[in-house]
Amino acid sequence: GAGVSQTPSNKVTEKGKYVELRCDPISGHTALYWYRQSLGQGPEFLIYFQGTGAADDSGLPNDRFFAVRPEGSVSTLKIQRTERGDSAVYLCASSLMSLGSGANVLTFGAGSRLTVL
């Protein structure tokens, strides 16, 4: 597609429920990133994929968070047993991973706003 697409744009759920957030990257982009942006803060790195594999998941806050990218394109961020503190905007980005040829430039989606009641 023309840009990074994220669905849903808004999700309201109750504490303890399971949530899935989807990201459809720019066609041909090999790298995909998830960031979390809490109110009044800058985005924080969660995980990134190179192809189908998670290359770095050091930003996932705990084992309730999990992400997959089974075919190397669309990715799903999964949050189990949601807590009120998980409320944030979850941003997805993609890039042409170009190690050694300059800055790896990310293109961000509009985000999925998650509210946990």
Partner 1 sequence: AQSVTQPDIHITVSEGASLELRCNYSYGATPYLFWYVQSPGQGLQLLLKYFSGDTLVQGIKGFEAEFKRSQSSFNLRKPSVHWSDAAEYFCAGGGSSNTGKLIFGQGTTLQVKP
| Binding interface with partner 1 (CB under 8 A) | 3-4, 31, 33, 35, 40-45, 48, 55-56, 91, 93, 95, 97-100, 102-111
CA distance 49 to 114: 22
Closer residue to partner 1 in complex, CB, 10/80? 10
> Burial of 20 by CB count in 10 Å (0-12 exposed, 13-18 middle, 19+ buried)?
middle
Rounded CA gap, 79 and 64, in Å?
6
What is the H or E stretch that residue 77 is in?
strand 75-79
Q: Which amino acid is located at 94 in the chain?
A: S
For partner 1, which is the closer residue by CB, 14 or 53?
53
CB of 117 to partner 1, least distance (A): 21
55 vs 117 by CB, closer to partner 1: 55
CB of 104 to partner 1, least distance (A): 4
